[in-house]
Amino acid sequence: MWLKGFFRRRKRPPISQEKIERRQLPRWQLGCEASAKWQGQDDFVSCAIKDMNFRGFQIWLDRELCPGCCALIIRFGTDLVFNIEVCVVWHALVNAKHVYGCRFIRLRDADKERLYHFVFQNFPGATRL
């Protein structure tokens, strides 16, 4: 009779959905300014890259994008330029800013190496998992 409460499940506080990291490859928290140019545009638009890994990134813009896949040029500063192809996976509107989750369709191995060196040099705490 003393085992009556022994096997009872203990109540645990609920885990909020924001704290659960479901990605197998976690993203590096960057929060850096960049500029982007989409296929068919003539000029670069300022944006912010909040987080990134080798599968995708989160980008904050002042304007809305067309959904789907597109070619994109991302420029960090003046010397680091990536010519990539992405697919917009999700979109949210936060404080009058358009937030997009993008997945890489085409990212060359040489660009992956340059991207890792850029993150390692400019954001040293971000590469530690």
Domain spans of the chain, in order of start: 25-122
Give, as one character, the DSSP assignment of residue 16.
P
User: 89 with 65: CB under 8 angstroms?
Assistant: no
Q: Which residue has the tokens 């936060």?
A: 94
Q: How many CA atoms lie within 13 A of 118 on its CB side?
A: 21
User: How large is the average pLDDT for residues 62-82?
Assistant: 86
Q: How many CA atoms lie within 13 A of 116 on its CB side?
A: 9
Q: Work out the pLDDT band at 119, boundaries 50, 70, 90.
A: confident
Q: What are the backbone dihedrals phi and psi of residue 90, each rounded to the nearest 5 degrees, phi first?
A: -145, 160
Q: Work out the pLDDT band at 109, boundaries 50, 70, 90.
A: very high
**Residue 66 pLDDT more than 80?**
no
25-122 architecture in CATH? Beta Barrel (2.40)
Could you tell me the CA-to-CA distances from 26 to 35, 44, 53, 56, 112 in Å, in that order? 23, 28, 7, 10, 15
58, burial (CB in 10 Å: exposed 0-12, middle 13-18, buried 19+): buried
Q: Work out the pLDDT band at 57, boundaries 50, 70, 90.
A: very high
- Judging by DSSP bridges, how do beta strands 69-76 and 28-38 pair with one another? antiparallel
